[in-house]
Structure 1
Amino acid sequence: MSKRGGSGKSADVALVATLLEETGDDWDRRSHRTSVLAEATADTGVGSAWVAREPDNADALVFHAWSQLARGLREGHLEDAGHLLSQCHQAAELRPEDPLPWVVLIGVSRIERYGMNDVNAVWREATTRDRWHREAYLQMLAYLSPEEGGSSASVLDFVDVVRARIPANAPCAAVELTAAVRQYQGLLAQGGVRAMTAGQLWQGGQIAAALEQAASLWVKPGFFQHAAAAADLNVLAYALCAAGRAADAHPVFEALQGVVTPWPWDVDGPAVQRFEQHMGKSERGRQGGIGGA
């Protein structure tokens, strides 16, 4: 949504409010809509207008907080972390069963680099309310990553725990593959020998096993039911292409039906262009009966 005048902004607020209200207590769908809408309107003032109009509305508070978080993650800092924390805690008091305020707080912890004990406490609050909350797991994964002040060992420990516990079709099922793609992209970014040998990441061990399981299960009709399934299928398609298995990615591209997410495709060019290039390779690979990219 673009920047608009008062009446236009009122219409935007009404639309967002309706879209979130429709999700009821479906925390997965509510989280997906909140994140997508908040990120799309982060620079428009829609969240500020809504919370100014309804300061005691839990949806308004979480939406505004998520908008602030989206901008903070993009810019690397928060304008007022204390106020954002206050809004999240107020929303949590107004709707105690909702995991979203706690998920936003994990995101805030990424920017402010709060200590692990504090973050674990917030993590427990979020996952107690929704055990397999996709966004909670992804925010925690990012907090633990070496790119944000964590470590590769912390990521591995987290992924090991996740792998042992979650159902194969849980909303957070793509956490392990997401971590692997981020590791792969990190190796490419380092250049030199690390970039040249990055493809070896997919060739054995647990990462190869995770990719194989995802390739065999995720595209089955009805296997995934969560709202952000298309985003996870984008990760799978990218990983298969990165592993030199373009032909195996063809069913994933077919399942996506042209739905492209910016990440992971946008790290080395326009996302849609890179997506289409790899989709073309997958089609040629399938016709030629080979797996290579």
Structure 2
Amino acid sequence: MGFLSSRRKRSRLAPELDDQDLGKLLKSLLATTKTGMIATTDLCVAQISRLLGEDRGDWDLRTHRLGVLADYLTETHLPRTWAAREPENAGALALHAWARVARARHEGTLENATGVVDDCLRAAEIAPEDPTPWVALLEVARLERWAQSQVFGVWNEVLARDRWNREAYLSMLGYLGPEEGGSRIQILEFVDSLVLRMPANVPCAATELTAHVGQYLAILDRGGVEALVARNHWSQVTARQALDRVAHTWVQPGFLRHARSLADLNTLAYALMAADRRREAAPVFEALGGVVTQWPWQAGGDPLTEFDQAQRRAAAAL
């Protein structure tokens, strides 16, 4: 049993995180999407439709599943085929839009942006209570550099349907950052206003910490003397307090219950190690059970290697 336990906890990249049903679907899709056979396409579409049909009303879970599937299927024909076959299916339209947005993130250009917008708006019309078409449209707004009033208008549509939607808040972090025409001041104001009013364990709880990790990574990317003293970021009052607020509560059993809580725990483990708070990081690694996310570990190289090395350093500090 000890051997089996160690196998279960071996570090691994798992885009589904701890969503076992989604993980089973991804394995099934991996085994069948490359054949191109009509019957195979039908089977895959049916499996995706069935899974997305299970999470109606759980917008946090639905956002997680659509985002993972969009990334996973971006190089396949499945989202396009499903949307073409079922043009009145909100899930099919949303997945098709998200998959094209996911491809645009990698390629830097969104092809047929008008078509993506149309899919998002049509999905929103078919399922007016569903925030996920608006989450996808928010990404389109960023990629296409819409006016600020339009971006905030889309963001407000998401919040009207899902007040603490994690993806929407993290998307706004990117939009308000200097890389997209914003500034660090705007990010701080955005985060401060959120921290004052949000409950401690909502799906977007990691927005503040994500902002700090993003700033830390930006300092490292600049290189030179700044990178050499990047760790000083975590001694600043705001960064230290952000870690203090969550370092001990997030690892408590049942405290974080949202679909991407393991992604947020990866962010916390990375931040604690960057701040040289290794003893506090050890229980976070234990709670992760070896589930690794690409970001932020990929900043230092291979994410699995970086995660394993950090986990060993944290264990040695006990």
Query: How far apart, in 2, do the equivalents of 1:42 and 1:9 lie?
Result: 15
The one of 99, 108, 133 equivalent to 2:165 is 133
Aligned to 1:223: 255
Query: How far apart, in 2, do the equivalents of 1:80 and 1:116 lie?
Result: 21
Per-residue deviation, residues 128-147 of structure 1 (Å, max 9, x unmatched): 11100111111111111112
Aligned to 2:34: 3
Shift of 1:174: 0.1
Aligned to 1:163: 195
Query: How far apart, in 2, do the equivalents of 1:9 and 1:149 lie?
Result: 42
The one of 232, 240, 262 equivalent to 2:264 is 232
Query: What TM-score, normalized to structure 1?
Result: 0.95
Query: What TM-score, normalized to structure 2?
Result: 0.88
Query: How far apart, in 1, do the equivalents of 2:68 and 2:41 lie?
Result: 17
Aligned to 1:185: 217
Q: Partner amino acid for 1:154?
A: Q
Aligned to 1:289: none
Shift of 1:265: 0.3
Q: Is the 8 A contact 1:109 1:143 kept in 2?
A: no
Shift of 1:150: 2.2
The one of 34, 47, 50 equivalent to 2:82 is 50
Q: Is the 8 A contact 1:247 1:281 kept in 2?
A: no
Query: How far apart, in 1, do the equivalents of 2:70 and 2:51 lie?
Result: 12
Per-residue deviation, residues 153-207 of structure 1 (Å, max 9, x unmatched): 2211111111111111010000000010010000000011111111111113121
Query: How far apart, in 2, do the equivalents of 1:11 and 1:277 lie?
Result: 41
Q: Partner amino acid for 1:4?
A: T
Query: How far apart, in 2, do the equivalents of 1:121 and 1:238 lie?
Result: 33
Shift of 1:9: 2.4
Q: Partner amino acid for 2:310?
A: H
Query: How far apart, in 2, do the equivalents of 1:4 and 1:156 lie?
Result: 48
Query: Is 2:17 the partner of 1:15?
Result: no
The one of 21, 26, 37 equivalent to 2:58 is 26
Aligned to 2:236: 204
Aligned to 2:285: 253
Query: Is 2:59 the partner of 1:59?
Result: no
Q: Is the 8 A contact 1:241 1:278 kept in 2?
A: yes
Aligned to 1:291: none
Aligned to 1:271: 303
Shift of 1:149: 2.8
| 1:52-201 alignment, distance < 5 Å | 52-201=84-233
Shift of 1:117: 0.4
* Aligned residue pairs, count: 286
Q: Partner amino acid for 1:202?
A: W
Query: How far apart, in 2, do the equivalents of 1:238 and 1:208 lie?
Result: 14
Q: Partner amino acid for 1:117?
A: S
CA RMSD between the two structures: 1.0
Q: Is the 8 A contact 2:142 2:151 kept in 1?
A: no
SS in 1 for 2:57: coil
Per-residue deviation, residues 263-283 of structure 1 (Å, max 9, x unmatched): 000112111111111001000
Q: Partner amino acid for 1:56?
A: E
Unaligned runs of 5+ in 1: 287-293
Shift of 1:55: 0.8
Q: Is the 8 A contact 1:181 1:235 kept in 2?
A: yes
Query: How far apart, in 2, do the equivalents of 1:253 and 1:200 lie?
Result: 23
Q: Partner amino acid for 2:227?
A: A
Query: How far apart, in 2, do the equivalents of 1:4 and 1:119 lie?
Result: 40
Query: How far apart, in 2, do the equivalents of 1:103 and 1:57 lie?
Result: 17
Shift of 1:148: 2.7
Query: How far apart, in 2, do the equivalents of 1:122 and 1:197 lie?
Result: 39
Q: Is the 8 A contact 2:268 2:284 kept in 1?
A: yes
Shift of 1:32: 0.5
Shift of 1:75: 1.0
